Amino acid sequence: MALAVIGAQVCAQADTIAYGGPEGPDIYYELDSLPADATAEIGMAAHAIGLDWDVNDSLSFIPGYDMYCHWNTDAIFDREKTSRFDHDTLCLRLVQHECDQAIPCSGHVNSPFGWRKGRMHYGLDLELNTGDPVVCAFPGMVRISKYNRTFGNVVVVRHHNGLETLYAHLSKRSVEPGQMVDAGDELGKGGNTGRSYGSHLHFEVRFLDQPIDPTLLFDVTTGRLLHENFEIHKGTFASMAAAKASAGSRKYHVVRSGDTLSAIARKRGTSVNALCRMNGISQRSVLRIGQRLRYD
């Protein structure tokens, strides 16, 4: 039997079982401490979708549970715990199969990860039109699906290797906490909800609540993963500290009518390649008037 239950939701495609009891969906039980009424509730939920289930059929399982030791379907991130990464290096396998990865939406980068207007931007802003599908980057289980003042309609997915990905400002959400999802599955439609000015996807990658620059994993212009394995070490997060430190010295060019990448590169004493790399765009990207391009 393959079954997962979070609260009253049953995911028939899951391999194992997790249960959020009557105390709330974020309360997690090991199988051998599952309360008796939970067993009955799971049995009924399974029966409702036409499955027979016996408590002995399953093991408690939530992706990355051994690393996080919690499954919270309300708090987007635990910002208090910022120093839980105490390994030297940890190698995360990102994909097992070719189909295990997908770029959440194909649009150029409006705003890169890093320091922005006096505050840290923990994700990547990808351009889209409201209503465009936003898909899951890797297989996993939906942890958060709710409305948040900052992120608008937001979905967070926990992946089996412990990474979490966040998809914000959606116009519509089409998944619920506890749902198993595959890479490429639609999580909702892109939009402009929450603290957002113009339709875009705010996409974050986190490990143990700490943000990672998504362009370290994905080539945004091709939509492909850069590596099958991703090494995490303290320096992965130090890049954020460095970004903060160098923030003061960053310089931006505001695109004006008639500007081209080569003209901007010439004017700012840099190369087209460097501009593309710094801004996560390709040489064929269409520039928009008013767009800010980092050149130093």
CB of 16 to Zn ion, least distance (A): 34
Output the smallest distance, CB 121 to Zn ion, in A.
6
Query: Which one among 108, 159, 173, 202 touches Zn ion, defined by CB under 5 A?
Result: 202
Six token digits for residue 196: 């957002």
Tokens of 109: 């980068």
Do 105 and 190 contact (CB within 8 A), yes or no?
yes
CB of 60 or CB of 130, closer to Zn ion: 130
- Closest separation between CB of residue 100 and Zn ion, Å? 25
**Is residue 169 within the footprint of Zn ion (CB under 5 A)?**
no
Cα 141 from Cα 77, distance rounded (Å)? 16
CA atoms 181, 74, 106, 220: torsion sign: negative
Nearer to Zn ion by Cβ, of 88 and 197: the residue is 197
For the CB of residue 111, give the shortest distance to Zn ion in the complex, in Å. Answer: 6
Nearest distance in Å: CB 125, Zn ion: 4
Question: Are residues 76 and 166 in contact, defined by beta-carbon separation less than 8 angstroms?
Answer: yes
Taking CB under 5 A as the binding criterion, the range among 10-18, 120-128, 151-159, 227-235 that sits at the site for Zn ion is: 120-128
> Of 71, 115, 125, 275, which one interacts with Zn ion (CB under 5 A)?
125
- Tell me the CA distances in angstroms from 252 to 121, 127, 208, 215, 249, one per residue in order: 16, 19, 32, 19, 10
By CB under 5 A, what part of segment 233-292 binds Zn ion? none
Nearer to Zn ion, 19 or 167 (CB): 167
The one segment of 54-62, 116-124, 171-179, 257-265 that binds Zn ion by CB under 5 A: 116-124
Strand residues in 86-149 grouped as ranges (E): 89-93, 109-111, 114-116, 119-121, 124-127, 133-135, 140-148
Stretch that binds Zn ion, among 6-14, 32-40, 200-208, 253-261 (CB under 5 A): 200-208
Alpha carbons 121 and 235: distance in angstroms, whole number: 18
Using CB atoms, what's the residue nearest to Zn ion? Answer: 202
Provide the pairing of β-strand 200-207 with 218-219.
unpaired
Amino acid at 80: E
164 scored as a contact of Zn ion (CB under 5 A): no
Least CB distance from residue 123 to Zn ion, whole Å? 5
Binding stretches for Zn ion (CB under 5 A): 123, 125, 202
